[in-house]
Structure 1
Amino acid sequence: MKRVLIDTNIYIEFLRGDENINNILSSADFIAFSVISIGEILTGFKIWSDEKKYLNELDEFLYSPRLIIYDIDSETSEFYAKIYNELRIAGNPIPTNDMWIAALALQHGIKLLTNDRHFTKVAGLFLI
């Protein structure tokens, strides 16, 4: 595996010290993370008792030399619209944030590492 986009739940497992996740991330040439996941994580930190500790760990993670942060642009919006419409027509919606994450993975041609099985509903998305 060369490149991997990690979903929010994978970052949480990484924080918890999941050995399998650590092994997968260690073998990647680079790790991508979305602004969507950063927003979800910051939202979660607000309800955790040790917010400052987790913010420091997130900063350390975000400044890793092997990490790239993917932001949303107009091309991402086109991928999102396609995913949204395909899932709506099929009657298989997934959470909005996850459609954006899937759109980023498709846009950049990168595999998505996630524990959420609903991503299997997204056509053309490669999962780890």
Structure 2
Amino acid sequence: MGVNTVLLDTNSYSRLTLGDRHIFNFLKRVETIYFSVIVLGELYSGFRQGSQKNRNITELEAFLRGNNIRLVKISEKSAEIYGKISYELRSFGTPIPTNDIWIAANSIETNSTLITYDKHFLEIKGLRVWDKI
């Protein structure tokens, strides 16, 4: 069975824009690409620190207009999932960055596979992570 829905992490979007063929080819076979507002915030922050701010923002906005792109906001369910993940990670002594917990919560909420190159996501129970990390 193939993957029908994915959620892009910040590093996977960045690598996609740099020409990562693994991500590009994989996304061609996906029905829906979810994009978390947390990832959006991280990207906007990074763009403002770089020398290609306007170009990067224009490119991102064009990407978000894609037919199969869906923006995911933080919901009450996201918050509940976040709380569970955060508690479990701290209980086992394996905390990860706060924004990444929110991204994982969005991925679980949308029943999506997370496309990322960050291995710490593998610590989260119930999160499906892309097999290329």
Q: Report the TM-score, using the length of structure 1 for normalisation.
A: 0.98
Give 4+ residue runs of structure 1 displaced > 3 Å after superposition: none
C-alpha separation between the residues in 1 aligned to 2:107 and 2:22?
Answer: 21
C-alpha separation between the residues in 1 aligned to 2:60 and 2:54?
Answer: 10
C-alpha separation between the residues in 2 aligned to 1:76 and 1:41?
Answer: 20
Aligned length: 128
Q: Which residue number corresponds to residue 90 of structure 1?
A: 92
Match of 2:64 among 62, 65, 71: 62
1:46 aligned counterpart, secondary structure: helix
Alignment gaps of 5+ in structure 1: none
Alignment gaps of 5+ in structure 2: none
C-alpha separation between the residues in 2 aligned to 1:28 and 1:96?
Answer: 27
Query: Is residue 42 from structure 1 mapped to residue 44 from structure 2 by the alignment?
Result: yes
Instruction: Report the CA distance between 1:20 and its aligned residue.
Output: 1.1
Instruction: Report the CA distance between 1:74 and its aligned residue.
Output: 0.9
Which aligned pairs between 1:3-18 and structure 2 lie closer than 5 A?
3-18=5-20
Match of 2:22 among 4, 20, 23: 20
Q: Which residue number corresponds to residue 126 of structure 1?
A: 128
Over the aligned positions, Cα root-mean-square deviation in angstroms equals: 0.7
Identity across aligned pairs (percent)? 40
Q: Which residue number corresponds to residue 106 of structure 2?
A: 104
C-alpha separation between the residues in 2 aligned to 1:59 and 1:105?
Answer: 21
Q: Which residue number corresponds to residue 113 of structure 1?
A: 115
Q: Report the TM-score, using the length of structure 2 for normalisation.
A: 0.94
1:91-117 superposed Cα distances (whole Å, 9 cap, x missing partner): 000000000011111112111110000
Instruction: Report the CA distance between 1:126 and its aligned residue.
Output: 0.6
Please tell me whether the aligned partners of residues 32 and 69 of structure 2 are also in contact (alpha carbons under 8 angstroms): yes
Instruction: Report the CA distance between 1:127 and its aligned residue.
Output: 0.6
C-alpha separation between the residues in 1 aligned to 2:4 and 2:16?
Answer: 18
C-alpha separation between the residues in 2 aligned to 1:106 and 1:47?
Answer: 30
Query: In the alignment, residue 109 of structure 1 is paired with which amino acid?
Result: N
